[in-house]
């Protein structure tokens, strides 16, 4: 990590700015975009500020700790790295680097089905358990094999994403002609010439495609055949019976991601979810859906202590983590924040992102007069209006 990093990178926003300079446009835009008008994408972060903090004084705040447990396992803070596709296109071997940073810091890393590195790559490189994210696909044989590979890799939880039976329309991806690896059009070549650091990294790695799919799915041997296969595979018949199938096939801890409605949260509890993630997919699916922070309290009230409630979408700081915890979440998940870190500084960038968030969480706890994350409750917040 550069010697002056503590002075130049003091917030996640600094990592975003640096990533924008270093990552090719199509892959930066893939991270930093939402669907349609991007209204929900913007609201996820903006609406966090509708909750102010209740500042307290003359309270003993010595000995604060952000440590807690998630799914029964100790963590350094109530945070997980969310599944994010194409992490290996933010920088070479991105999933491996992010998993290493998360393991060293002491928080869970979630690997996406649509990753560039494979499950086996990350397992071999980290030697630590991680979570694996699964989409419901039509090819149940492939899904079963993928679940078995996650078991063999020692994954400690399976994250089933429920809100991507169809893909939201993301205008930037369409206009950029997003592909992995990038198509060598004149526009893309011109842009790549301005990103020598990224290009050098990609030349040095063999991982430039979707490692969990190419060579594993039937008749998928290259990226061109894979694109058509993936577009046809998202299963629009996904229902709670399909969730039951996944749970039985997996047999371990199951997290259901994409819950935005109290009724769906109750269904998830009935399905035996060990945790649910309140998430609108970072504003990348249904534009016009409410910001996740608005959906969180009603879902917490609906399921109580029947399952762990995690929170995702819009988290950019430790203060956002505090807000989510105060509104009843057991943990927050970050996607874009750590992807900015990857694009900016690789493994060091992810580590820096996590350090920034923990420091911000710790300082907010101190100024609100709490010493343990379990003490962060709704009365530590004040509605802005």
Annotated binding site for FMN: 83-85, 112, 133, 161, 257, 279, 312-316, 335-336
| Cβ pair 197, 188 in contact under 8 A | no
**Cα(117)–Cα(122) distance, integer angstroms:** 7
Tell me, yes or no, if 281 is annotated catalytic: yes
Taking the C-alpha atoms of residue 380 and residue 378, their distance in angstroms, rounded to an integer, is: 5
Letter string b/e over residues 110-143, b meaning 16 or more CB atoms within 10 A of that residue's CB: bbbbbbbbbbebbbebbebbbbbbbbbbeeeebb
Question: Which residues are paired to 333 by β-bridges?
Answer: 80, 312
What residues form the annotated binding site for glyoxylate? 30, 135, 170, 281, 284
- Rounded Cα distance between 132 and 150, Å, is 7
Angle at 205 between CA 27 and CA 29, to 5 degrees: 5
Continuous H helices in the chain:
5-8, 12-22, 25-31, 39-46, 94-105, 119-126, 140-152, 171-176, 186-192, 196-203, 223-233, 240-250, 262-270, 292-303, 318-326, 336-345, 347-367
Binding-site members are: 30, 83-85, 112, 133, 135, 161, 170, 257, 279, 281, 284, 312-316, 335-336
Quote the Cα angle for 112-92-313, to 5°: 40
β-strands 68-70, 73-75 pairing: antiparallel
The active-site residue, picked from 267, 281, 310, 333, is 281
Q: Which of these, 48, 106, 66, lies nearest to 364 by C-alpha position?
A: 66
DSSP summary character for residue 264: H
- Residues forming the active site: 281
């Amino acid at each position: 990590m550069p010697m002056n990093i503590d002075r130049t990178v003091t917030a996640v926003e600094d990592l975003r700015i640096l990533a924008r300079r270093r990552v090719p446009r199509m892959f930066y835009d893939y991270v930093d975009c939402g669907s349609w008008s991007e209204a929900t994408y913007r609201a996820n972060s903006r609406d966090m500020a509708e909750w102010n903090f209740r500042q307290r004084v003359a309270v003993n705040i010595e000995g604060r700790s952000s440590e807690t447990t998630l799914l029964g396992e100790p963590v350094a803070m109530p945070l997980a790295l969310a599944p994010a596709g194409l992490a290996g296109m933010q920088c070479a071997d991105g999933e491996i680097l992010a998993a290493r940073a998360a393991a060293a810091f002491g928080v869970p890393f979630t690997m996406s089905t649509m990753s560039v590195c494979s499950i086996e790559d990350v397992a071999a490189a980290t030697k630590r358990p991680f979570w694996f994210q699964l989409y419901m696909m039509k090819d149940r044989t492939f899904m079963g094999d993928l679940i078995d590979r996650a078991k063999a890799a020692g994954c400690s939880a399976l994250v089933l994403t429920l809100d991507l039976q169809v893909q939201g329309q993301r205008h930037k991806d369409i206009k950029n002609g997003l592909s992995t690896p990038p198509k060598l059009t004149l526009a893309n070549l011109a842009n790549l010439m301005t990103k020598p650091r990224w290009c050098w990294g990609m030349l040095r790695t063999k991982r430039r495609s979707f490692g969990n799919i190419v060579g594993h799915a039937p008749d998928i041997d290259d990226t061109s055949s894979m694109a058509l296969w993936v577009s046809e595979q998202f299963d629009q018949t996904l229902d709670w019976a399909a969730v039951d199938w996944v749970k039985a096939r997996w047999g371990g801890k199951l997290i259901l991601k994409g819950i935005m409605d109290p009724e769906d949260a109750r269904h998830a509890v009935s399905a035996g979810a060990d945790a649910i993630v309140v998430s609108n997919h970072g504003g990348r699916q249904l534009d016009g859906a409410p910001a996740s922070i608005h959906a969180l309290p009603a879902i917490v009230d609906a399921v109580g202590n029947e399952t762990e409630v995690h929170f995702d979408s819009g988290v950019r700081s430790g203060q956002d983590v505090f807000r989510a915890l105060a509104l009843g979440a057991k943990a927050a998940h970050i996607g874009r924040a750590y992807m900015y870190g990857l694009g900016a500084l690789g493994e060091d960038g992810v580590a820096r992102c996590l350090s920034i968030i923990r420091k911000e969480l710790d300082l907010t706890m101190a100024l609100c007069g709490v010493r343990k994350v379990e003490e962060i409750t709704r009365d530590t917040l004040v509605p802005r209006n």
